[in-house]
Structure 1
Amino acid sequence: MSVSLYYTAHRATAPTRAESAAVERVVAAHTASFPYQDEESLFLYEHDEDDPEQILAGSTKLPSDPGRLLPVMTRVLDSVTSLRRALPGADWHVHLDDLDVPWDEEDGYAFPDMPDGEIDMW
């Protein structure tokens, strides 16, 4: 079974040059530090001309290996948090298939820890 993380941002105004540069820095830093070269990582789509208010969209197919699932998901969510902070004023939707990923102003995107230390995704 394949599980993917999806992320989109919509805003009436296009990103400024400074915001676009910040997005490029986030992607470059994520790519340089991502430890699993054989796993899918942060992947941004080309701009959708049919949706002019969509300023960013992407997805990541998460690994099926339980030992890599949480580290990959955490790294990608950390990068999506940085992307959101680089594009202020956008409406974001981040979800793991059918499950929305909650946003916290201080901590960013993450799933709340469950009492047994596991993440309740299913």
Structure 2
Amino acid sequence: MSVSLYYSARRTAPPTDAEKAAVERIVAAHRSSFPYEDEESLYLYEGGGGEPSEIVAGSTKMPFEPDRVLPVLNHVLGFVSELRRALSGAEWHVHLDDLDVPWGETDGYAFPGMRDADPAAELDGF
């Protein structure tokens, strides 16, 4: 069974040319800096998610290897946060399967503690 991160943004106004260019820059930067060639990274669906008000939508399947989940999740959420900041006035929904990912103005999308120096070290006792 796999776990995926899903992200989508809706608003009535379509993206402007400047916003489209910003999204393209963000996606290109993400792909060039993604640390794992053999893992799925930020993936945006062609033409949004299919609904007229959906201006961007995508998903990323999380790796099966426990030592890669947090780095991949952190990397993708960082870029989804950049997308949110580039597409103002949109209503966003970001979730890891059934679990909503919280938004914070300072940190963007992140689960509490996931950007600590070594959050996996805390799991050694389990």
Using the size of structure 1 for normalisation, the TM-score is 0.91
Taking the aligned partners of 2:107 and 2:33, their CA distance within structure 1 comes to 20
Aligned to 1:61: 61
Which aligned runs of 4 or more in structure 1 are off by greater than 4 angstroms?
A: 114-119
Matched positions, count:
119
Q: 1:65 to 1:57 in 2, by over 3 A?
A: same
Report SS of the residue matched to 1:59: strand
Aligned to 1:105: 105
Contact preservation (8 Å) 2:9, 2:93: yes
Report SS of the residue matched to 1:5: strand
Question: Structure 1, residues 67-109: CA drift from partner, whole Å, max 9, x if none?
Answer: 1100000000000000000100000000000000000011100
Q: How much identity, in percent, do the aligned residues show?
A: 66
Aligned to 1:23: 23
Instruction: Flag structure 1 segments of 5+ consecutive residues without an equivalent.
Output: none
Instruction: Flag structure 2 segments of 5+ consecutive residues without an equivalent.
Output: none
Taking the aligned partners of 1:9 and 1:49, their CA distance within structure 2 comes to 9
Taking the aligned partners of 1:55 and 1:49, their CA distance within structure 2 comes to 8
Contact preservation (8 Å) 2:19, 2:86: yes
Q: Which amino acid aligns with 2:109?
A: Y
Report SS of the residue matched to 1:56: strand
